Amino acid sequence: MPLGETGARVFPLILGGAEFGWHVDLDAAHRILDAYYERGGNALNTSDAYAAGRSEHIIGAWMSRRAVRDDIVLGVRVGTNPDHPGLGPVNLIRAVEASLMRLDTDRIDVLYLDATGDSAASLEDTLATAEWLIESGKVRAIGSLGLSASQLVEARILASAGYPRLMVLDVPYNVLRQGEFDGDLKLVAGAQGIAVTPSQALEHGYLAGAHRSRAQVAGSVRGSQLAAAMNRRGTRTLRAMDRIAAELSIPTSAVAIAWLLTQRTVVAPIVNVYAVAHVDELMQGVGAKLSRSQARRDRAGSPVARILC
C-alpha cells in the first residue's frame, strides 16, 4: 500500500521493535524479523529510546546479515532518548546520527518526530532541521507523534512556505482507544492526506485475548497496562471480538488488526511481538475482511458492531 505521499509502499502491517533488546533477545528478534519478512512484510519501526538503543542495533544487524536494507521501509522515532532529548536542532541531528550508526544504514525512510515529551522546541526550528536532514540524504520523509490537530495545521502552513511536509502520523489507536485520534486529529490527517500508522494496535497486548483477568497479570508496568483495560467495556469488547474471530476462523488479535484496516486514513498498524507465532496470528488480520455489521459503529460512536460499545 502507498505510505501516503512518501513514495514508499508498505505491507499493511508494520513490525515494531519495542520489545527487541528488552523482552526479546537478538536471536529471537532475528527469528521474528525473518518470519515477518518471509511472509511479505517490508516495514519496520523502532525508536532510539527502545532498550537504550539495543532495538536499533538488533534491527541493523538483521538488515546487514540478510542484505535487505533496500527492501525495507524503515521508520525511526526520535525525541525521547535521554541522551538526545527533545526536538531542538542540535539534539535532533545528534539523535539521527546516533540512530544511523546503530542501524548500520545511511538513511531513515520515515523519521517520526516524537513531540510527546518536548513542549519547548519550536515546530518551525524542528522542521528546518528536518529539511537539512532530508537534503543531506539522511532522511527521506517526516512523520510525527504527539502533535495536536492545530499543530498539524501549523505544520502544513509551514510546508507551504517551503518546509518539509509531515506525511505520516503515529497515534495510539485501537478498538478500545479511539478518543485520542477520532475527532479533529482524524479530520485534519484525512484532509492533509497524511498516512496513519497507529501504534498500540493491541492495547498493550490486551486485545490479543491471552490475559482476561487481573489475577493473570503481575504487578509490573506491563501488568498495570493490561489491568487498565480489564474493565466492563474491555471485557465486552473482547467477547465480541471472540465471536467475530470464531465467525472468520482467525485469532482474536487478527480481528483487532482487521478492524484498524477498515478505518479511513489508516495505512498500516504498528505491532510489537514476542514470538514468531504472534507474527503468524497478526498476519491473518491483513487478509481478513470484516462485514459491515462487524465493522460498523452505532450512532453513539461505539466500535465494531454495536456490541463493542
pTM as predicted: 0.93
- Is the pLDDT score of 305 beyond 60? no
In whole angstroms, give the CA distance from residue 24 to residue 46. Answer: 14
- Is the pLDDT score of 307 beyond 50? no
* Structure confidence at residue 69 (pLDDT): 98
Mean pLDDT for 92-114 is 98
* Structure confidence at residue 302 (pLDDT): 46
Q: pLDDT tens digits for 232-286?
A: 889 999 999 999 999 999 999 999 999 999 998 999 999 999 999 999 999 999 9
* Structure confidence at residue 47 (pLDDT): 98
The dihedral of CA 131, 132, 135, 141: what is its sign?
Answer: negative
* Structure confidence at residue 36 (pLDDT): 98
* Structure confidence at residue 118 (pLDDT): 73
Cα Rg, the chain, nearest whole Å = 19
- Is the pLDDT score of 63 beyond 80? yes
- Is the pLDDT score of 217 beyond 70? no
- Is the pLDDT score of 202 beyond 70? yes
* Structure confidence at residue 222 (pLDDT): 61
In whole angstroms, give the CA distance from residue 113 to residue 170. Answer: 9
Q: How far apart are the first and last CA of the chain?
A: 30
Concatenated DSSP letters of 76-144:
EEES--TTS-SS-HHHHHHHHHHHHHHHT-S-EEEEEEE-TT-SSS-HHHHHHHHHHHHHTTSEEEEEE
In whole angstroms, give the CA distance from residue 303 to residue 301. Answer: 6
In whole angstroms, give the CA distance from residue 156 to residue 239. Answer: 41
Cβ neighbours for 290, distance < 8 A, ≥ 6 positions apart: 244, 248, 255, 258, 259, 262, 304
3-state secondary structure of 20: strand
Strand-pairing partners, residue 272, are 16
* Structure confidence at residue 292 (pLDDT): 84
Mean pLDDT for 150-170 is 98
At 116, list the grid cell.
510527546
Mean pLDDT over all residues of the chain? 91
Going by pLDDT thresholds of 50, 70 and 90, the confidence category of residue 301 is very low
For residues 200, 204, 207, 212, the Cα torsion angle rounded to the nearest 10 degrees is -160
- Is the pLDDT score of 166 beyond 60? yes
Mean pLDDT for 116-140 is 93
* Structure confidence at residue 56 (pLDDT): 98
Nearest 5°: the CA angle 72, 74, 76 is: 165
Of 6-20, 29-43, 70-84, 213-227, the poorest mean pLDDT is in: 213-227
Of 49-58, 117-126, 295-304, the poorest mean pLDDT is in: 295-304
- Is the pLDDT score of 230 beyond 90? no
- Is the pLDDT score of 97 beyond 70? yes
Going by pLDDT thresholds of 50, 70 and 90, the confidence category of residue 218 is low
